[in-house]
Amino acid sequence: MAGVDCTGSESRLRSCRSDDEAFSRCGHHHDVGVICSGYTDFRLVNGSDSCSGRVELQYLSEWGTACGASWDIRASNVLCRQLNCGSAVAIVGVDWFGEGSGPLNCGSTVAIVGVDWFGEGSGPVPLCLLMVDCPEDSDECLTGFQCSGTEAYLGNCSSPQTTKCSSSSQLSLICSGHRSLRLVGSGSDCAGRLEVFHKGSWGTVCDDSWDVKDAQVVCRQLQCGEALSGPVPAWFGPGTGPIWLDKVDCLGNETSLWSCPSEGWGRHDCGRKEDVGVLCSEFKEIRLTEGCSGNLEVFYNGTWGNVCMDQMDSDTVSLICQELNCGKSGSVDSSTPRLASAPNWLDRVQCRKNDISLWNCPSSPWGQNECSAFEVAKITCSDHLPFRLMEGEGQCSGRLEVYHDGTWGSVCDDDWDIRDAQVVCRQLGCGPALRADGNAAFGRGEGAVWLSRVECRG
């Protein structure tokens, strides 16, 4: 071949352009050579997903850890992009709140966290980032790609420097595609019990000193809008696993919870009833006011509001009924609002057959509508399983009973948990589930036991 012109993204040399006429101008004094690094793959391991963890490189067939002594945010951004994990959020260094660490502001917040965050790796420590001789008894290797940050692959970055490296310099990385904190217990990503990932496991945050400024940072980090409240205590039910953080004290303008002061990892004097929850403005929920029938209402920006029936068809009604576990079909009629002060949140909702949630369906923008007082959507779902809560305080607590074959019966507590209770509360329009009681906590029922081993996703 002669006159070869590759873009660099081709998988084979034969896929590159070449100039056959250039053969006449070539001799063996123009023979090309190639020096390859030997590194064939990269990965992040020991994190909660494939977009966070300790950086490992594959040298031919052997995996080993990478040295972070000369690693910077630009190289980290390139690696995150190469792994389809967005951009770099945090470079894991020696200590979580160690001397000389803390947030590094390079366009986005970068936290320096401890080597114990993702655990120590096995294999060679360190693996050099270029193919050089590095004796086992030496800790001096070529480390740290020098990238501009715009490269598509680490291999496109310039040669690294010679740097001393040790096991304490093992590199770990958190990319924006990773979720190191989450809200659980509401069925939505934007409301629920706050859980954070540390040392390989998810744990909770104690409500001591917790306020809306702390919640604001969480909502911003999760891209869930503004904080509406930081409900306490255990508003979304108690969690499991360790209690990782206590006395978090954010100013409210931080871009990451990791930038806020706290007592430190695992240091607390809390119980499970103090697990904190967060409600963000992008939390959205739907309900029918009478369980599986009634006015269609949606929760948005902290307020329940109406949905207008303009252009609502059978596909839209079917999706709503299925999303509420109220059967697979239904009918829509016009109605008046339950509360005169409730906003009309949505209009012209038109779901398609491939939509899986009401929030995927095209509609008018939030709050923009042409509804009259008599155009609120009232939906009646068919083929649903009626149920009720008995012997509790009000209509939102009590022993669960379902109606089947002409009689009311109860549900056995085998495998019953908070996720199952969450579906019941949502279907009844009763907000998030707080507990999932068994052992006849609301007294023994009568008649048949209609259901057992219920297993909802929540």
Same domain for 334 and 394? no
Q: Rounded mean pLDDT of 249-277?
A: 87
Q: Could you tell me which residue, 105 or 120, shows the higher pLDDT?
A: 120
The Cα 149–Cα 157 span in angstroms is 9
Question: Is residue 165 situated within a structural domain?
Answer: yes
Question: Is residue 16 situated within a structural domain?
Answer: no
pTM of model > 0.95:
no
Question: Is residue 83 situated within a structural domain?
Answer: yes
The Cα 297–Cα 302 span in angstroms is 13
Same domain for 190 and 214? yes
Output the DSSP codes for 165-203.
--GGGB-EEEETT--SEEEEESSSTTEEEEEEEETTEEE
Same domain for 87 and 148? yes
Same domain for 68 and 167? yes
Same domain for 437 and 368? no
Q: What is the pLDDT of residue 145?
A: 67
Q: What is the pLDDT of residue 100?
A: 26
Reported confidence tier of residue 240, pLDDT bands at 50, 70, 90 = confident
Reported confidence tier of residue 94, pLDDT bands at 50, 70, 90 = very low
Three-class SS of residue 433?
coil
Q: What is the pLDDT of residue 218?
A: 92
State which residues form the domain around 63.
35-101+139-177
Of the three residues 259, 279, 299, the one that is the final residue of a domain is 279
| Nearest in space to 432 (alpha carbons), one of 201, 238, 256 | 238
Question: Is residue 239 situated within a structural domain?
Answer: yes
Q: What is the pLDDT of residue 187?
A: 73
Of the three residues 359, 382, 405, the one that is the final residue of a domain is 382
pLDDT per residue as tens digits for the range 362-392: 998 988 888 888 889 999 988 666 777 888 8
Same domain for 430 and 407? yes
Same domain for 41 and 144? yes
Mean pLDDT of the chain: 77
Number of structural domains in the chain:
4
Q: What are phi and psi of 211, to 5 degrees?
A: -145, -175
CA dihedral 342, 345, 350, 355 (to 10 degrees): -110
Same domain for 40 and 171? yes
pLDDT per residue as tens digits for the range 188-228: 888 889 998 877 788 999 988 899 999 999 998 888 889 98
Lowest mean pLDDT among 6-10, 20-24, 26-30, 280-284: 20-24
Question: Is residue 356 situated within a structural domain?
Answer: yes
Q: What is the pLDDT of residue 316?
A: 93
Q: What are phi and psi of 305, to 5 degrees?
A: -140, 175
Share of the chain above pLDDT 70, in %: 77
Q: Is the pLDDT assigned to residue 127 strictly greater than 60?
A: no
Output the DSSP codes for 261-330.
--S-TT-----GGGB-EEEETT--EEEETTBSEEEEEEEETTEEEEEB-TT--HHHHHHHHHHTTS-SEE
Same domain for 195 and 158? no
pLDDT per residue as tens digits for the range 420-441: 888 888 877 778 888 888 888 8
For residue 429, what is the DSSP state?
T
CATH number at residue 333: 3.10.250.10
Burial code (b: 16+ CB inside 10 Å, e: under 16) for 222-237 equals: bebbebbebbbbbbbb
The Cα 191–Cα 278 span in angstroms is 6
Q: Rounded mean pLDDT of 389-416?
A: 82
